[in-house]
């Protein structure tokens, strides 16, 4: 069956083929506007206006994709069950809570000028919702990995395993931004919960990186279609570093004039030292990701939604770099932050344009393990063959 352009497709058909990896568009767009905002360097004309436009664009696509995802769950419950069994697509469920975090951060930044201090309370409510989904995905997807999904060959393992795990630490980064806008027990609770979310994610993500290194040594690089996953390694390291840097600052605010003030001083120092170490580890993977990408570009790298992996991981690593610059004042971090930001903007424009073309042509709306003839899930045996 030939692929129909989007303009010739029924909405029901689009819904049937909608998958959670579309939320990576929100992740990439969200980190793009946040990075431009935090850079404090004018890279492009009307930069402040562009940042706000990107924030509203991010909100629009998040609402659109949420509608499509919920509609798919209602209209095609059988397909949704198959999604949880799929060894790759299920991982992208982690993209949903991660996609919401930049929107929450945008509310913290721009909301007060629109609705006053009520924006912080709106952000807090959305943050609580995000935590629920992040933690749920962080438990649910690994449980299906342990009980239903087939991961019997190490060579089939890629960095997408990180996606459901990293969602919790991404939520923790929003807590680090949110806490300084509250006081008393509320601020303290936000900080404590954020540290727990960090612990939910980073140690397990580091374990996955060890497995990934072993897989690359034994079975070499992944297939070309999964080549961009090499950039996903920056996600837990960049976010893990950023979390500790933000929460170290937030702790000094939240626990001032309490019996835990000495703990807050320690957390600030711990956040800087550990955040710097995670950033250094991320720098190793950053260079390796470039080497792998250059090799695949020479051989021809087909476009798919996985290309959004060029954006969010680089963005959080850039955010950690800029935060280190703000704390230390070292010019090296400032220069690297600017260079990383330029890379992020180039990648975002490239991937966003290709995504819009893919949406319009219709070929990106092809969910795995679906029969084009019947629109029903294929047998799980067929899914295995498509891996």
Residue-by-residue DSSP string for 223-272: PGGGGGGGGGGHHHHHHHHHHHHHHHHHHHHHTTTSTTHHHHHHHHHHHH
| Residue 370, strand partner residues | 377
- The answer for residues whose C-beta is within 8 angstroms of residue 98's C-beta and 6 or more apart is 23, 27, 134, 163, 166, 167, 170, 312
Q: What is the pLDDT of residue 6?
A: 57
Q: In the numeric block, which tokens belong to residue 260?
A: 């835990």
Q: How far apart are CA 326 and CA 381, in angstroms?
A: 53
Q: What is the mean pLDDT of each run of 10 residues along the chain (387 residues)?
A: 58 88 97 93 85 97 96 91 91 98 97 95 98 98 95 94 98 97 96 98 98 96 89 98 97 88 92 98 97 89 90 97 96 96 96 89 67 39 39
Structure tokens at 141: 């997807």
Res 369: pLDDT: 52
Q: 10-386 has which fold? A: Glycosyltransferase (1.50.10)
Nearest Cα residue to 338 out of 20, 44, 46: 44
Strand partners, 113: none
pLDDT for 372: 39
What lies within 8 Å, CB to CB, of 33 at 6+ separation is 50, 51, 52, 54, 55, 58, 102, 106
Q: For residue 312, which of 27, 23, 20, 21 has the smallest C-alpha distance?
A: 27
CB 173 within 8 A of CB 243: yes
């Amino acid at each position: 069956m030939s692929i129909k352009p989007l303009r010739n497709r029924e909405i029901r058909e689009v819904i049937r083929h909608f998958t959670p990896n579309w939320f990576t568009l929100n992740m990439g767009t969200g980190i793009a506007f946040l990075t431009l905002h935090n850079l404090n360097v004018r890279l492009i004309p009307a930069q402040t206006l562009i940042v706000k436009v990107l924030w509203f664009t991010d909100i629009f696509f998040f609402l659109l994709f949420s509608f499509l995802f919920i509609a798919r769950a209602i209209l095609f419950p059988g397909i949704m069950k198959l999604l949880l069994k799929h060894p790759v697509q299920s991982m992208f469920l982690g993209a949903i809570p991660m996609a919401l975090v930049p929107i929450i951060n945008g509310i913290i930044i721009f909301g007060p000028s629109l609705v006053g201090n009520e924006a912080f309370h709106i952000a807090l409510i959305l943050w609580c919702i995000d935590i629920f989904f992040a933690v749920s995905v962080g438990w649910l997807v690994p449980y299906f990995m342990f009980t239903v999904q087939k991961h019997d060959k190490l060579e089939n393992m890629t960095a997408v395993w990180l996606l459901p795990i990293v969602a919790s630490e991404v939520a923790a980064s929003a807590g680090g931004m949110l806490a300084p806008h509250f006081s008393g027990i509320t601020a303290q609770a936000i900080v404590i919960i954020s540290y727990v979310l960090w612990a939910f994610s980073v140690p397990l993500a580091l374990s996955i990186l060890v497995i990934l290194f072993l897989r690359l040594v034994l079975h070499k690089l992944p297939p070309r279609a999964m080549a961009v996953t090499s950039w996903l390694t920056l996600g837990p390291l960049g976010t893990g570093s950023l979390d500790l840097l933000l929460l170290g600052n937030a702790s000094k605010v939240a626990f001032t004039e309490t019996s835990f003030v000495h703990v807050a001083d320690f957390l600030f120092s711990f956040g800087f030292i550990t955040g710097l170490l995670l950033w250094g580890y991320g720098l190793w993977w950053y260079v390796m990701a470039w080497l792998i990408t250059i090799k695949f570009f020479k051989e021809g790298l087909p476009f798919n939604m996985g290309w959004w992996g060029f954006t969010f991981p680089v963005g959080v690593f850039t955010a950690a770099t800029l935060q280190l610059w703000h704390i230390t004042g070292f010019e090296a971090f400032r220069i690297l932050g600017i260079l990383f930001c330029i890379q992020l903007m180039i990648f975002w424009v490239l991937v966003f344009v290709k995504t819009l073309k893919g949406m319009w042509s219709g070929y990106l709306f092809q969910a795995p393990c679906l029969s084009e003839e019947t629109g029903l899930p294929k047998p799980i045996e067929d899914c295995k063959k498509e891996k």
